[in-house]
Chains A and B, each alone.
Chain A
Amino acid sequence: NAGVTQTPKFQVLKTGQSMTLQCAQDMNHEYMSWYRQDPGMGLRLIHYSVGAGITDQGEVPNGYNVSRSTTEDFPLRLLSAAPSQTSVYFCASSSSYETQYFGPGTRLLVL
C-alpha cells in the first residue's frame, strides 16, 4: 500500500493562477479531508468528503473547490491563487473508528 499520496511536493504560483493539488489513497477509505498548515495556527480543515460524490466545507473553504468522483481521489482546486494561500497542504483519509492517515504534504508558494 502506498497510503496517501500527494502531488506535487512543491509548487510556486503567481497571483491569479489556478492549479489542482492531487491526493490519492489506496486504502479504500470512505473519508478524505484537506487541511492547510500555517505557522502558529496548527492545521485547519478546508474541505472534507464522506464518500464519493459527497463533499462539505470545513473551517476555511473560501478560495478552494473540491470534488470526489471516485473513492480513491480527492483533488483540491485553487481557482485564482492569492498570497494568503501560501501554506503547506495536507490530505488525509480514514474510515470510521480508524486513524486519519496523512499524506506527506504539498508546499505552495503564491507570489
Chain B
Amino acid sequence: AQSVTQPDIHITVSEGASLELRCNYSYGATPYLFWYVQSPGQGLQLLLKYFSGDTLVQGIKGFEAEFKRSQSSFNLRKPSVHWSDAAEYFCAVGPFGNEKLTFGTGTRLTIIP
C-alpha cells in the first residue's frame, strides 16, 4: 500500500530564512510525487510535481524539490521564505493516472518577522 509521511507537523521559520519540508513515501512502483500548498480556507494549489527525468524539480513561487529514490524522499525547499508562504503544505504520491493520490498529513508553516 502506498503511504506518505510528513514528519513535521508544524515548522516556524523567520522571514528570509531558508526552508526545507520533509516528505518520505512508500510506493510499490515508480512514484509520481507532488507538493501542494493550501492557504487557510482555500483549496489546494500545485507547487510542483515529479514524474521522471531530472530529480531536482522547480515549481512555482521559488520552490524546488529533490527526488531521492534511495531515501524514498521528496523534500521541498525554498532558499528564502516570504511572509506570504505561511500555509499548510502537503506531499502526495500517486499512480500514472493521478486519480488516486495518497496525501501526507501536512506541515503547517508559520513565518515570523
Question: Are A96 and B97 in contact (CB-based, < 8 A)?
Answer: yes
Docked Cα-Cα span, A96 to B34, in Å, equals 14
Question: Are B97 and A45 in contact (CB-based, < 8 A)?
Answer: no
Residue of A nearest to B104 (CB): A42
Question: Are A94 and B103 in contact (CB-based, < 8 A)?
Answer: no
Question: Are B100 and A103 in contact (CB-based, < 8 A)?
Answer: no
Identify the A interface with B (CB < 8 A).
31-33, 35, 40-45, 48-50, 58-59, 90, 92, 94-100, 102-105
Chain B: residues with Cβ within 8 Å of the partner, total of 25
For B105, the chain A residues whose CB sits under 8 A away are: 40-42
For B83, the chain A residues whose CB sits under 8 A away are: none
For B56, the chain A residues whose CB sits under 8 A away are: none
Q: Mark B69-109, 1 if CB is under 8 A from A, else 0.
A: 00000000000000000000010101011111111111000
Question: Are A44 and B103 in contact (CB-based, < 8 A)?
Answer: yes
